Amino acid sequence: MNLNDTPNTLAQILAYHERTKHRLERYAAGPEALDWDAQPNPFREFLGAGKTALPLAADTLTTPFDALHQPATIAPYPIDLHAIGILLELSLAISAWKEYGPDRWAVRCNPSSGNLHPTEAYVIGRHIPGLANGVYHYLSLDHSLALRCRHAPSADDVTDTSTGLYIGLSSVAWREAWKYGERAFRYCQHDVGHALGALRYAAAVLGWQVHVHEEISSQELAYVLGVDRDNDYANAEREEAELLVSIGPASKNNLPPALPPFIAREWFGQANRLDPHPMYRWPVIDEVATATRKPGTLPMQWTAERAAERVAEQSASEPSSTPLPPLPALPSLPSLPRAKHLPAATLLRQRRSAQHFDRAQTLDTASFYRLLDAVLPRDTLPWDVWSFEPRLHLILFVHRVAGLAPGIYALPRDAAAKENLRQAMQQDFAWTKPANCPSHLPLYCLIEAPVSKIARSIGCHQAIAADGAFSLAMLAEFEPTLTAAPWRYRQLFWEAGLIGQVLYLEAEAAGVRGTGIGCYFDDACHELLGLTGKSFQSLYHFTVGSPLLDERISSHPAYPASPR
Ligand SMILES: Cc1cc2nc3c(=O)[nH]c(=O)nc-3n(C[C@H](O)[C@H](O)[C@H](O)COP(=O)(O)O)c2cc1C
């Protein structure tokens, strides 16, 4: 038995989850005071590692966002430094600098709790024109790659000279813990899910696929990325290895190869210290990180057929390959500027979190259903990246959607989950399908009622949970998943982050805007739904609506050379 599978590990993870719940009577343990001037450096650098500047060429791509869902229409780019530059420019790069009074801060294509950005990315290249074989750390500050490790040619390299592009993600938990204390580990995991989604969409613009290598263990990944190298992090905050993906124009029926064997010839660079004077320590974060490290496992065979089966299960009448059917002509209020035809390269970089919503606006019915449709597991973008069973289901708090009564709705993302949710939640919920709902969408009204106030209370009293068109909770199949494999604790949050990234981008395309909500009262949400026990737990909340923009904040180009 692997150490990470012991009942003790499971108990540790469940205990972490329990103690990091925000409760109406007290928030999870965090710092009592924050000195904003002492925020940890959001940019990791490896001092002494040679840098390669990446080109900024995303503006040359005109593929509309809509076209990403029809991959056959996008000719795959060859993998080279130029294309890698675009991939990162559209996923993890800075997308703008913001200024308000004396404050200036960077925002990125990928969102992050508190804009603290704990996620680090490493590019592993093999036979890529313009890039020596090795591991490179991506620095979004100047859009460059720093050579961390040069790989020596292995026996495989002689016989196989095919191109390989891999990206490994890691988290610097301290960046989040500095502000959020013990709950920070959860936010780091959400951010990994968002980063995965950001990479998937950016890859699609280049006509590429993304494949998660679930077989690799956390320990192996730490070795590959070099985050286990004590000397390179002497006196610097450590990184936790999270996820490895391979990226390229591979067909989805052709599983991309596992990371080929390599010989690490030489490592370069010393990690910079991010916070010279850390005030607090949250040892429980290190404990849960250790408890959720993944053992090596056999790769799961993702097949298009399995994905098709899943959606077919949702509705016997609608096969998954059928694109979203035309939506009924319903009154739509008011008409918001639609952005679906914007170049994807523009849309991915203009994604922002709404800070305030306009309560006078109502979301049109068609956009609402399109947003829900986009989170259903399919074998198309971005769900082709997720080879695991869908384990998260949506509970929606509908406030202002044309043609739909305000109330609580459920969207089980898997046919089997509907019955389980029904049994686990309040027995007097109605479970009726809205009359105007497209037949393939598994949306059910549980109760019709004004729910703005309760949504606001559950969302740590944040107005964004109440003032938009709708907000939602993501309910995870929790204890059964963790009992089978405790390390999937991280994966549940990744799935939540991925759903969040879909909502962010689809909302942007619909001319509205979303915001992730990590601050919510866990058990208040469960109680409202009648959930007892740990079969389902709410792992992430989200809100969508018409944004009110803060004109006082000015926006400036991401990089000196970039026109935006
Ligand atoms: C996991 C996660 C949790 C978040 N929680 C909240 C929240 O509770 N309240 C809020 O106003 N914004 C929340 N946000 C939005 C972030 O503050 C926002 O992403 C960040 O400031 C960067 O801005 P941007 O999304 O416009 O790039 C969250 C974002 C993420 C990814």
Q: What is the mean pLDDT of residues 374-397?
A: 94
pLDDT band at 337 (very low <50, low <70, confident <90, very high): low
Q: Say how many Å lie between the CA of residue 113 and the centre of ligand 1.
A: 4
Q: Which residue has the tokens 């809100």?
A: 543
pLDDT band at 70 (very low <50, low <70, confident <90, very high): confident
pLDDT at 157: 72
Q: Is the dihedral of CA 317, 323, 325, 330 positive or negative?
A: positive
- Same fold: 44-291 with 353-545: yes
Q: Say how many Å lie between the CA of residue 29 and the centre of ligand 1.
A: 20
Q: In Å, how far from its chain's centre is CA 333? A: 30
Largest CA distance in the chain: 67
The residues near 358 (Cβ < 8 Å, ≥ 6 apart) are 467, 545, 546, 547, 548
Q: Say how many Å lie between the CA of residue 77 and the centre of ligand 1.
A: 32
Q: Looking at the predicted structure, is the pLDDT value of residue 3 above 60?
A: no
> Which tokens go with 552?
């006082």
pLDDT at 5: 58
pLDDT at 6: 65
Best residue among 353, 457, 458, 492 to mutate for probing ligand 1's pocket (most ligand atoms within 8 Å of CB) is 353
Q: Say how many Å lie between the CA of residue 331 and the centre of ligand 1.
A: 32
pLDDT band at 260 (very low <50, low <70, confident <90, very high): confident
pLDDT band at 380 (very low <50, low <70, confident <90, very high): confident
Residues with CB under 6 A from ligand 1: 107, 111-115, 187, 190-191, 194, 352-353, 462, 464, 515-519
**Angle between the 283-291 and 173-180 helix axes, to the nearest 10 degrees?**
130
The residues near 238 (Cβ < 8 Å, ≥ 6 apart) are 172, 227
DSSP category for residue 64? B
Which residue, by CA, sits nearest to atom 29 of ligand 1?
A: 113
Which residue, by CA, sits nearest to atom 6 of ligand 1?
A: 517
What's the one-letter identity of residue 450?
A: P
| Nearest atom of ligand 1 to the alpha carbon of 110 | 27
Q: Is the dihedral of CA 493, 26, 517, 37 positive or negative?
A: negative
Architecture category of domain 353-545 in CATH: 3-Layer(aba) Sandwich (3.40)
Q: Say how many Å lie between the CA of residue 555 and the centre of ligand 1.
A: 18
pLDDT at 258: 76
Q: Looking at the predicted structure, is the pLDDT value of residue 78 above 90?
A: yes
Best residue among 92, 95, 100, 112 to mutate for probing ligand 1's pocket (most ligand atoms within 8 Å of CB) is 112
Best residue among 113, 116, 175, 540 to mutate for probing ligand 1's pocket (most ligand atoms within 8 Å of CB) is 113
| Nearest atom of ligand 1 to the alpha carbon of 187 | 1
Q: What is the mean pLDDT of residues 145-151?
A: 96
Options 3.90.1150.10, 3.90.550.10, 1.20.120.450, 3.40.109.10; CATH for 44-291 is: 3.40.109.10
Residue closest to 147 by CA, chosen among 88, 226, 221: 226
Q: Is 190 exposed, middle or buried (0-12, 13-18, 19+ CB in 10 A)?
A: buried
| Domain boundary assignment for the chain | 44-291, 353-545
Between 175-179, 203-207, 397-401, 557-561, the lowest mean confidence (pLDDT) is in 557-561
Write down the pTM of the prediction: 0.93
Q: Say how many Å lie between the CA of residue 115 and the centre of ligand 1.
A: 6
| Nearest atom of ligand 1 to the alpha carbon of 464 | 11
pLDDT tens sequence across 496-542? 999 999 999 999 999 999 999 999 999 999 999 999 999 999 999 99
Which residue, by CA, sits nearest to atom 17 of ligand 1?
A: 114
pLDDT at 328: 39
* β-strand partners of 264: 151
Q: What is the mean pLDDT of residues 163-187?
A: 96
